[in-house]
Amino acid sequence: MFIKQEFYLWKLTYDLVVSQGFQVLNMSTERGEVWLEKEHEWQTHVIRISHKQVNWKNELKRELEKAYRQLTQNKKLFRGGKVQFHVLYVSEYPPVEEWQSVKEGLSTKKLPIHLYYMDDEQKSNEQKRLYRAFKLEEPLIDHGVEEAEMEALIPYLKHQLVKEQQEQRKKVMSLFDYGKPRMTFFLLAVNILIFLYIEWVGDSTSVDTLIDYGAKFNPAIMEGEWWRIVTSMFLHIGILHLFMNMFALYYLGTAVEKLYGTWRFTLIYVFAGLFGGVASFMLNPHVAAGASGAIFGLFGALLFFGVQHKQLFFRTMGWNLITIVLINILFGLLVPQVDNGAHIGGMAGGFIATAMVRLPKQKNTSKQLVAVLIYVLTICTMAFLGTSGVLNTEEALTKVEETKELNDTEAYEEAIEKTTQALPEAGRYEAPLLFNRSFAYLQTGDIEAARKDLLRVIELSPDTAEAHYNLALIYRQEGEDEKAVEYAEQAKNINPDQEDFGKLYEELLQ
């Protein structure tokens, strides 16, 4: 009867792997033992099937303890969350003693154990219980086959399972090497060349230069210059900003383009950048530039991969990627100058854009059309909210730009007047309005009023380097060198790319 039990084991395993989509974790054709895995209802299920006659309760307990240890030592299986452990014994006879309660000492909330003892009398019932647990249609396993035919079929079943195991491994490896990172390197080159050009013709840290060359500038966008959403993706503010974004683009872009292929990667990058740019327009009133919205979209693409391949995701990049995303979001919330709208919007846009194109060989027209609809409706809603000023105080923003232009044309008295009028309803724009007024006060000789405004700017927005720099100039003029050094150092630390800040600091130290 040994042949009958072995045939049943390999026939059952064959159905679970070939027909039901279980993955082979480990297989020993000599010992008659197989470990399988399947994700079901967002949980990882591991099945151990073995051909073994167990007679006594203590013997069965030792067998379960051994299998339990083997499973818990494989920590990769637990990276995706809760694991359900199914232990199957295929045997001719049942244990002599009662066996159903053996698992109770081992099964825990973290690792529930389901025990199936498939002796000849209970095979049908236990098989039903197993398939019912996974909501699968039960296979027909013909027990009336002659032993000679069973013996002839067993090598074939083993061979097919080994072949299927190899195919599964090849399929997993092919997921991570579908495309070549050609577009990633092209984007790196384009961003670097544009940065070098901007530095050649002007200064990448200058707001005026950035606006001239296509930075996100809300007043201009509201006047119809929507192309700035695209051009701002290729501008960077200083060498450090460029380095950080290109470093992230290199690593994330390479991974995503290998997963999705060049044309999918390109669409994800562009759509994520557009989505992040419009989110920034809706939420962030300041001039902004950079590829970070599109780059965060690559995070979204990897998270989409995690939704599609939960087990594989958590065993490779999963928790590391989630940790990096959370750190970046937290950093953005703590640092005022970071454009959180572009970052979070880009990540959401990247996820939706990936749902639009999906993974290679995973076409699903209905879901793709739904994703397209969600993308279009969301980006149009954000554009409407941005232009209507529901989330941005449009009038105060206009006053910021207006008073800056008055200062540029040396209409300082008018700038002071308009700024003073706008301050009571400035909201989040209080700091830039005060800075504009402080500049006008400096030009009209009212040093004390300028100092008061600048101190308030620093209180509201500690990372405004220009406010620290102007205070350093005021204190140097008044002979208070210690305070001048303090504020000059702050300006230099906040914006090390601005040569004037470092130069003033060095002069004060001499």
What whole-number distance in Å separates Cα of residue 58 and Cα of residue 66?
A: 12
Out of 292, 309, 438, 468, which one is annotated catalytic?
292
Q: Can you say how many angstroms the Cα of residue 25 is from the centroid of all Cα atoms in its chain?
A: 28
436 contacts 449 by C-beta, under 8 angstroms:
no
Question: In the chain, count of helices (H) and strands (E)?
Answer: 22, 5
Long-range contacts of 448-456 (CB under 8 A, 24+ apart): 450/474, 456/431
What whole-number distance in Å separates Cα of residue 432 and Cα of residue 286?
A: 10
438 assigned to active site = no
Scanning 309-364, the segments in alpha helix (DSSP H) are: 310-316, 318-334, 340-357
91 contacts 6 by C-beta, under 8 angstroms:
no
Nearest-5° Cα angle at 388, 386 to 393: 80
**DSSP assigned state of 36:** E
Residue 415: C-alpha distances to residues 26, 400, 401, 407, 456 (Å): 76, 10, 11, 6, 18
343 assigned to active site = yes
- Which residue reads 């309760």 in tokens? 57
Q: How buried is residue 335: exposed, middle or buried, by Cβ count under 10 Å (0-12/13-18/19+)?
A: exposed
Q: For CA atoms 467, 468, 472, 473, give the dihedral sign.
A: negative
What whole-number distance in Å separates Cα of residue 29 and Cα of residue 293?
A: 51
- Which residue reads 């995690």 in tokens? 306
181 contacts 269 by C-beta, under 8 angstroms:
no
What whole-number distance in Å separates Cα of residue 436 and Cα of residue 412?
A: 10
**DSSP assigned state of 122:** T
Out of 86, 343, 438, 468, which one is annotated catalytic?
343
What whole-number distance in Å separates Cα of residue 346 and Cα of residue 458?
A: 30
Residue 170: C-alpha distances to residues 154, 176, 313 (Å): 24, 10, 16
Angle, helices 239-260/292-308, rounded to nearest 10 degrees: 30
Q: Work out the widest C-alpha separation in the chain, in whole angstroms.
A: 107
115 contacts 76 by C-beta, under 8 angstroms:
no
Show the tokens assigned to 416.
């002071």
350 contacts 268 by C-beta, under 8 angstroms:
yes
Where in the sequence numbering do the catalytic residues fall? 292, 343
